[in-house]
Amino acid sequence: MNATPQWQHWRLETETDGLAWLVLDRAGASVNALSAEVMAELSQVLDHLDAAPPKGLIIRSAKPGGFVVGADIDEFAGLDTPEDARALVERGWRLFGRLADVRYPTLALIHGMCLGGGLELALACRYRLVADEPGTALALPEVMLGIFPGWGGMLRLPALIGAPAALDMMLTGRRIDARRAAALGLADARVPTRLLRQAARQTVLSGRPPRRARGLAALSNLWPLRGIIAARARKTVARKDPQGHYPAPLAIIDIWERHQGNALLAPHLLARIIQSPTARNLLRVFRLQERLKAHARGESGIGHVHVIGAGVMGGDIAAWCAYKGLDVTLQDTTMERIAPALKRAGALFGRRLKDRRAARAAFDRLIPDPQGAGVARADLVIEAITEQVEAKQALYRQIEPRLKPGALLATNTSSLSLATLREGLADPLRLVGMHFFNPVAKMPLVEVIAAPGSEAAQARACAFVGQLGKLPLPVRDAPGFLVNAVLAPYMLEAMRCVDEGLAPDTVDAAMTAFGMPMGPLELADTVGLDIALAAGRQLAGQAEPPACLAQRVARGELGRKTGRGFYRWQDDRPERGSAGRAPPGLAQRLITPLIDRTQALVDTDIVADADLADAGVIFGTGFAPFTGGPLHYRLSLAGGSDRPADPPQPPK
């Protein structure tokens, strides 16, 4: 290849036959993000190529982790005026429009993450090839930050794959893999990694016309189907967000339908969405998530996991570990008790891993082990048996002599004291809490609990949680830790409202209108009213439980698992009545105990600071993300700025 002018972030190499390779390798960063500096240099590259057009241009990434993860998120925090917001959108819109209009053929060679502005860059190319590997993921996730894809995604994606599929991607932020990208026509082909360069060369020089939506998919972008599809999309958004807490989805529909995907033609929407409190708070949530991910860095040294207890939690933890590539042995007293966990695991692998061979390989990694032979080989033993101190301690006495040197011992307890559980252990510092949430496959947070002296084990456990693709939250040993400790007073206050005569539907409707994913009484039914009663007594200082809770437990009405609690349950769904009119201030009454307890846990150093507490409550309970978290929400009510204070940033 011939050397050409170099830039800080881009490297341009031209082969003797005139084919050019443009390599993005953002300086000083582990991943590629499209900062103002990176974009300015790309403009300079295009200037250079205008003077001497190549035979074809292939754009690829030098980062092993992926293509481009999106725009530089830090630059959104500095958008103080409508003019700032417009300038940011205009920069990407014009640059990618220029790339789309070049005379020579262009190709985006995609591996790993291709998100947000990275996908908009790829859409501006004539062709796209994706690596046929598990880590490949394409998405326009801007809606999850409360904004929209403003650099051409709302124009080019519907034109490429049709409006219904494009709106689904843009309104959900959902990631698609290489197989799905090729099936949709978003990628020209998925190619084995070893053949990518050869396939890219052949494709960019092929002279084939660029892909476009065809048939009904093409008609979906034209009147009258355009209006019909937009109307249906608005109804879907209204059903999911009836209170309008998240304005970005409706803005995406409007800009696609009425402004040809060009946000610059809708300045009123552009400034209102990008500078909205929702966008600022969702940006805060993104940064909080990145901070949690920072705790997952490092090596855990864990390759074999042994899980004891094949109930719902233990079985699903074991399945998730196998899904993530770990060797797993699953122990319970009999094969009959293990069998339901294996059945659920098979369903998980089939649902998540579309390739039958990959699903089979995951299933082969999950080994039933009723005799517990895996204890001696495991790098980590996770105990997920009944919530009884004596039972857990008896198990530890039995298995500790068989643990290999350096093996971690973890408990999935949701509330028991680690200081008590580790009494009698020869090496008490190896015990950590690893509190997963149900359902394991969907809930992103894992509380990692350390009693005094076991901080090294906690750090290793956090790294293991990162291996599983979860978010570790380090907390200190205390009743209920963080998540259950804040949920208990919230659910108990809801039950006191029922004692006062309010219908469960009315109570829950007030909180779903506030922005919670489900109401506190439906949540109590889901957890189990017997568990809620026990936790409430422990976390409320043995105070008298609400009468409506005690009466239902006495009748054996324990919630979803028995078919009746605060609701009747059919097919795992509550049968609802009509919600009555909520008394003024009901939502604030219910949410106040949760916020108070969150603050108390920060004040007593159970969780390190307010930002981590907000992160834990959002990702552990679904607390309305548009608020920025419970403590940030209280600050905004007290007259604090709606602009989020920047959480401490993880090291880059």
Token pair for 440: 């394991």
List the catalytic residue out of 70, 112, 117, 261: 117
Give the pairing of strands 10-14 and 2-3. antiparallel
Task: Please provide the DSSP assignment of 88-156 as one string.
Answer: HHHHHHHHHHHHHT-SS-EEEEE-BEEETHHHHHHHTSSEEEEE-STT-EEE-GGGGGT---TTTHHHH
Catalytic site residue 117? yes
Instruction: Tell me whether residue 71 is one of the annotated catalytic residues.
Output: yes
Q: Distance between CA 122 and CA 96 in Å, rounded? A: 9
Our answer to whether residue 336 is catalytic in this structure is: no
Q: What 3-state DSSP class applies to 27? A: coil
DSSP assignment string, 337-398? HHHHHHHHHHHHHHHH--SHHHHHHHHHHEEE-TT-GGGGT-SEEEE---S-HHHHHHHHHH
Q: Which residues of 4-21 are buried (b: 16+ CB within 10 A; e: fewer)?
A: beebebbbbebeeeebbb
What is the full DSSP assignment across 424-448?
T-SSGGGEEEEE--SSTTT--EEEE
Please tell me which residue in 20, 142, 178, 515 is annotated as part of the active site. Answer: 142
| Spatial CB neighbours of 202, under 8 Å, sequence gap ≥ 6 | none
Local structure of 486: helix, strand or coil: helix
150 touches 89 (CB < 8 A): yes
CA distance 105 to 99: 10
Which among 120, 447, 522, 557 is annotated as catalytic? 120
Among 20, 33, 71, 251, the one annotated catalytic: 71
Cis, bond preceding 439 (omega within 30 deg of 0):
yes
Task: From residue 576, give the alpha-carbon distance in Å to each of 231, 525, 557, 579.
Answer: 28, 13, 17, 8
Q: What are phi and psi of 111, to 5 degrees?
A: -135, 155
Catalytic residue numbers read 71, 117, 120, 142
